[in-house]
């Protein structure tokens, strides 16, 4: 999944373009993280980690299947999409970020 496909997929879930964009940040490197929900941090060889922030503005690497996520940019977009899709299925009355 590339960026355009991510936006289209999130749109199908009810997110606006701005709402979908606000969920991610494509960092230049580990020093370029911001207070977005998901920072895609390049680790070399075309691989990325996903770093998230908590309520105290600390950054943590995302884990999947009890292992820290390390994958392609496409896999990072897909992971975020799948997490949101699954959460929305479990919470059908939840309001999407459509602003």
pLDDT digits (tens, 9 = 90+) for 19-69: 999 999 999 998 888 888 899 999 999 999 999 887 778 788 888 777 889
Question: Model's pTM, two decimal places?
Answer: 0.86
- Does residue 74 lie in a domain region? yes
Number of domains, the chain: 1
- Does residue 58 lie in a domain region? yes
Confidence band (pLDDT; 50, 70, 90) for 78?
A: very high
Helices (H) and strands (E) in the chain, counts: 3, 6
Per-residue pLDDT tens digits for 8-33 = 999 999 999 999 999 999 999 988 88
Residue 3 Ramachandran class (φ > 0 left, ψ -120 to 50 alpha, else beta) = alpha
Domain that holds residue 34: 3-90
- Does residue 8 lie in a domain region? yes
Q: Where are the alpha helices (DSSP H) in the chain?
A: 3-12, 17-21, 73-90
- Does residue 98 lie in a domain region? no
- Does residue 66 lie in a domain region? yes
């Amino acid at each position: 999944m590339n960026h355009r496909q991510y936006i289209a997929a999130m749109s199908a879930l009810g997110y606006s373009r701005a709402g979908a964009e606000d969920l991610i940040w494509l960092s230049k490197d580990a020093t370029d993280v911001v207070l977005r929900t998901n920072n895609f941090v390049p680790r070399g060889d075309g691989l990325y980690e996903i770093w998230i922030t908590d309520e105290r503005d600390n950054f943590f690497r995302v884990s999947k299947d009890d292992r820290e996520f390390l994958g392609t940019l496409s896999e990072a977009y897909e992971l975020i999409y799948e997490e949101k899709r699954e959460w929305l299925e479990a919470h059908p009355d939840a309001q999407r970020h459509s602003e």
